[in-house]
Amino acid sequence: MTEAASVKDLAYDPADLWVLDHEDLRALEIGAGILGTGGGGNPYIGRLRAEQAMRDGFKLTILPHQKIADDALCVSLGGIGAPVVGVERIREGREGLRCVRVLEEHLGVRVDAVACEEIGGSNSMEPLMVGAFAGLPVIDCDGMGRAFPEMQMTTYSIYGHRSTPSAMCDVHGNAVLFQHAASEIWHERMARACVVSQGGASTLASAPMRGAFVKQFGIPDSYTQAVNLGHAVLRAQKAHDDPIAEICRVEKGRKLFTGKISDLKRHLKGGFVRGEVQLSGIDTHTGESGSVLIQNENLVFFHDGEMECCVPDLILVLDVDTGEAITTEMLRYGQRVAIVALPCHDLLRSPQALEVVGPKAFGLDVTYTPLKGV
């Protein structure tokens, strides 16, 4: 808790907190990597940083989303920029904490809890570390249920939250305050231009939300989902079972394709990694072809030239043997992969949400058809 707080001042009951251990972090690395649909930052690097925080004596705590007080102030945060930069340039470590302190000072408030922008990749770890450093819990929810490349693509923004004032901090010690944006898209545009000048990767915290709003419009139990998914994969690996089949069972997903990466186009432009992955079928898909369009995350999967799955449903590129996710910055020629699709949360399927996170929002000339769970 912050220095001035006492137990009676807290916006939650400490008895409700879930304190993560090292096994949970390993499971979160796997589960968040899978839910990240290729993006969200490299989960392995995120886990290493989180484990260091634990070794330094900090507790990484999660609070059930319905247990936060309605009037609590919750700040959502995460990394912004291109995932490849997060691999090539390690974070300084306290960028997210500085973001929270900048907002508290600017608004004259005390934050009660941290919320996750996106559960995917290392962006699942960043709120945990910021919460640990600030003595605050992280709410068991997020704004995407996966990862998306742009900041307005959260359920928080889709259902009415205004993200400014927001604060963005980088590895150099810079802190930028966005006082007001005319729209959530303008906030994304300005922040994206700023992050390019900061080297391609920073951390951003958005304006506080009330607990009642988070409980209604956050995607619930996303940390629990990611950790449980990771543990399921680890159990399958240990038992020499098929981890990809286990992922499909746990998440009601479907394996769409098995192939080898035969070509890869990937480039950094405007703060995003953009490109396309070409696949040659193997095993039961020998003689067939596949391709995945990417913008930080996997957006569309084509099977023999026909669209088979697209955003906002989740398209996973998984190692065919381990079932673990291969993020877009780690894709390489010759890798043997399975393409798996998972249904997204219902909050991302409303007409209002599809305007922001559906294929048309990415300039894609395809029609979204909801993936049905199996």
**pLDDT computed for residue 70 by the predictor:** 98
Work out the pLDDT band at 5, boundaries 50, 70, 90. Answer: very low
Between 15 and 273, where is the model more confident? 15
pLDDT of 284 strictly over 70: yes
Which residue type, as a one-letter code, is found at position 296? Answer: N
Q: Note the pLDDT tens digit of each residue in 163-187.
A: 999 999 999 999 999 999 999 999 9
Q: CB neighbours of 56 closer than 8 A, spacing ≥ 6?
A: none
Q: What is the mean pLDDT of residues 250-263?
A: 97
Pairing, β 297-303 against β 289-295: antiparallel
Q: Is the dihedral of CA 306, 309, 33, 361 positive or negative?
A: positive
pLDDT of 329 strictly over 90: no
Q: What is the mean pLDDT of residues 331-349?
A: 97
In total, the chain counts a number of residues equal to 374
Distance CA 107, CA 186 (A): 21
**pLDDT computed for residue 9 by the predictor:** 78
**pLDDT computed for residue 83 by the predictor:** 65
Average pLDDT, the chain: 93
Q: What is the mean pLDDT of residues 65-71?
A: 98
Helix axes 43-55, 125-134, angle to 10 degrees: 20
How is residue 104 written in tokens?
């508290």
**pLDDT computed for residue 76 by the predictor:** 98
Which residue type, as a one-letter code, is found at position 223? Answer: Y
Q: 216 near 141, Cβ under 8 Å?
A: no
**pLDDT computed for residue 343 by the predictor:** 97
pLDDT of 264 strictly over 70: yes
Q: CB neighbours of 362 closer than 8 A, spacing ≥ 6?
A: 295, 299, 311
Work out the pLDDT band at 217, boundaries 50, 70, 90. Answer: very high
Q: With 0-12 CB in 10 A as exposed, 13-18 as middle and 19+ as buried, what is 39? A: buried
Q: Which of 48-52, 270-274, 334-338 has the lowest mean pLDDT?
A: 270-274
DSSP assignment, residue 325? B
Domain spans of the chain, in order of start: 7-223, 250-362
Q: What is the mean pLDDT of residues 326-336?
A: 94
Q: Which of 22-31, 95-104, 244-253, 259-268 has the lowest mean pLDDT?
A: 259-268
**pLDDT computed for residue 266 by the predictor:** 87
**pLDDT computed for residue 3 by the predictor:** 42
Element (H, E) at 46: helix 43-55
pLDDT of 4 strictly over 50: no
Main-chain phi, psi angles of 131, to 5 degrees: -60, -40
Q: Note the pLDDT tens digit of each residue in 72-118.
A: 999 999 999 866 666 666 677 899 999 999 999 999 999 999 999 99
Work out the pLDDT band at 228, boundaries 50, 70, 90. Answer: very high
Distance CA 1, CA 133 (A): 9
User: Minimal CA–CA distance to 126: which of 230, 73, 49?
Assistant: 49
**pLDDT computed for residue 1 by the predictor:** 42
pTM of the model: 0.93
pLDDT of 37 strictly over 70: yes
How is residue 38 written in tokens?
């290729």
The CATH class, in words, for 250-362 is mainly beta
Residue % of the chain over a pLDDT of 70: 94
pLDDT of 309 strictly over 70: yes
Q: With 0-12 CB in 10 A as exposed, 13-18 as middle and 19+ as buried, what is 330? A: middle
**pLDDT computed for residue 280 by the predictor:** 98
**pLDDT computed for residue 98 by the predictor:** 97
7-223: which CATH number, 3.40.1610.10, 1.20.990.10, 3.30.70.2860, 1.10.10.10?
3.40.1610.10
Q: Note the pLDDT tens digit of each residue in 114-148.
A: 999 999 999 999 999 999 999 999 999 999 999 99
